[in-house]
Amino acid sequence: MKIIQLQLYVLICCRAAVSDQLTDLGSNVTINCDLDENEVYWILLKTPDPPTVILRSMSTTSAPYYFIKTFRKKYSLQFKHRLVINNVTADELGVYYCMNTRTPPKLSNSTRLHFNTVEFIDQNQKQCQIIIIISGLMNGLLLIVLIGLLKVFVVGNRRSAERSQLHTDLQQTRVTEEHQDQLQYAEVDFSKLRRNICSSQINSTYAALNLPKS
């Protein structure tokens, strides 16, 4: 309930003085708290999201209390109330407040953290170039694979057609050879033919001379 009240209070008082702080992508940033308190809350406001309570500094120990465990890797405290942000990304951009833990609560002046525009654009351009290069390489690789598959398909069909044609030619050759073998091995009885010819010639001779056959 106390955290919910704290967030509502930040929403109401978010019109306090704001100072801009430029940073670079991936750098470490330190934000000062101008409250002279033993314990403070550090709060991040990213519109249109509700405020996020990051941590609470403790007077009894140097280790802060984190409201979300994953914040341990990103945020830390330095010199009592200074908030340190490690390896800044776009997720850490926003308006930072520190607020005391007493009642009534008191907010510090806020610090708006944002990237150096020129460098941020350069980073985005580099990322876009890398994405374009990777996309081009992937498309080129895909094109090579498609061409290879097409060649395999065409060569396979060509070889299949050649094999089919060769099989057909072999069958035709076998049929021709078998036909030639049949022609070569046909038997002709020339002795009977010779006898018939001689007999007919003799009969014709005797008929012409009117001689009786012996």
Instruction: Give the CATH number of domain 2-115.
Output: 2.60.40.10
| Alpha-carbon span 106 to 21, nearest angstrom | 22
Pair type for strands 18-23 and 110-115: parallel
31-68 pLDDT, tens per residue? 998 888 888 999 998 888 888 899 998 888 778 899 99
pLDDT of residue 93: 92
Residue-range domain boundaries for the chain: 2-115, 122-185
Residue 90 three-state SS: helix
pLDDT of residue 108: 85
Greatest C-alpha distance within the chain: 168
Residues belonging to the chain: 214
pLDDT of residue 14: 56
Helix, strand, coil fractions of the chain, as percent rounded to 5: 50, 20, 30
| Alpha-carbon span 131 to 123, nearest angstrom | 12
pLDDT of residue 76: 93
Q: Which residues of the chain have pLDDT under 70?
A: 1-16, 117-127, 169, 175-214
> Tokens for 109?
């002046």
pLDDT of residue 208: 54
